[in-house]
């Protein structure tokens, strides 16, 4: 099972919107609505930001939103803030024997 | 407070073994599916293993299948990862992560991680 493909880096100015893509196959992202997104600050554990493609856990700002089209899921951060600077990872359920797969990760830089 | 605390990491020689533990508190551990996720230095997250709430269903990543064994003791609120035949590429921070009960494939609680270094 190969990792899902994400851009290595995305940047934006405060207040702007950015979108991170997560591309898989019909065996994972395209086949199930079990895509989740995680934020990880340096030296910290990951934090769940989105589950089931577009649902936010309690406490996650509504600036974070998720969507999916075909084999590609996306995370959009609107009204970018300095504290959003972090690494972001997508994850999907997969029909392969390995059950779960993460994306390659995207470093978000706030200019 | 809902919490996961990993322990057992350290320096081990190639071919050696190590057992990681994850102590859960603040929630009914026996009701939750659990996972191990690792992160090599400067690299991305890699899912390692899953165990169902009862321990009856287990999955592994291809990279660790046959070498690692996940287990749990619900009476002790603890998750374990027995790692054998360790390789340099197993060097990573190992996190235990709880599966959400609301949905599939959502790790809603993470531990702080424990570092495993495989080197001679």
Q: How far apart are CA B96 and CA B80, in angstroms?
A: 9
Q: How far apart are CA B107 and CA B114, in angstroms?
A: 17
Contacts of B102 in chain A (CB under 8 A): 51
Contact A35/B113, CB-based, under 8 Å? Answer: no
Strand pairing class (A106-110; A9-12)? parallel
- What are the tens digits of pLDDT across the range B33-89? 999 999 999 999 999 999 999 999 999 999 999 999 999 999 999 999 999 999 999
Mean pLDDT of B101-110: 91
The pLDDT assigned to B103 comes to 85
The pLDDT assigned to B105 comes to 86
- What are the tens digits of pLDDT across the range B6-16? 999 999 999 99
Give residue B26's Cα distance to chain centre.
19
Which of A34, A47, A57 is closest, CB to CB, to B104? A34
The pLDDT assigned to A74 comes to 98
Q: How far apart are CA A75 and CA A50, in angstroms?
A: 8
Task: Enter the DSSP assignment of B89.
Answer: G
Nearest CA in chain A to B4: A45
Contact A105/B45, CB-based, under 8 Å? Answer: yes
DSSP B2-21: -EEEEE--EEE-TT--EEEE
- CB of B35 less than 8 A from some CB of A: yes
Q: Are A90 and A4 in contact (CB under 8 A)?
A: yes
Q: How far apart are CA B52 and CA B117, in angstroms?
A: 28
Could you report the average pLDDT of every consecutive run of 10 residues in chain A (111 residues)? 93 97 96 96 97 96 96 97 97 89 97 92
- CB of B75 less than 8 A from some CB of A: no
Q: Are A4 and A29 in contact (CB under 8 A)?
A: yes
Contact A102/B45, CB-based, under 8 Å? Answer: yes
Task: Enter the DSSP assignment of B55.
Answer: S
Contacts of A32 in chain B (CB under 8 A): 105
């Amino acid at each position: 099972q190969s990792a899902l493909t994400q851009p290595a880096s995305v940047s934006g100015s405060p207040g702007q919107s950015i979108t991170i893509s997560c591309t898989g196959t019909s065996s994972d992202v395209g086949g199930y609505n079990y895509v989740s997104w995680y934020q990880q600050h340096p030296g910290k554990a990951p934090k769940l930001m989105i589950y089931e493609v577009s649902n936010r856990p309690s406490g996650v700002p509504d600036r974070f939103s998720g969507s999916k089209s075909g084999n590609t899921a996306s995370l959009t951060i609107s009204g970018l803030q300095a504290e959003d600077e972090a690494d972001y990872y997508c994850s999907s359920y997969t029909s392969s024997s390995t059950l779960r797969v993460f994306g390659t990760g995207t470093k978000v830089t706030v200019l | 407070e809902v919490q996961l605390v990993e322990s057992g990491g350290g320096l081990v020689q190639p071919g050696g073994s190590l057992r990681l533990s994850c102590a859960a508190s603040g929630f009914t551990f026996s009701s939750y599916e659990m996972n191990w996720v690792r992160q090599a230095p400067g690299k991305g997250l890699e899912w390692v293993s899953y165990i169902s709430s009862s321990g009856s269903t287990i999955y592994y990543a291809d990279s660790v299948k046959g070498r690692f064994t996940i287990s749990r003791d619900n009476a002790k609120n603890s998750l374990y990862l027995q790692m054998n035949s360790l390789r340099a590429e197993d060097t990573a921070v190992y996190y235990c992560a709880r599966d959400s009960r609301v949905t599939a494939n959502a790790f809603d609680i993470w531990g702080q991680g424990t570092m495993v270094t495989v080197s001679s």
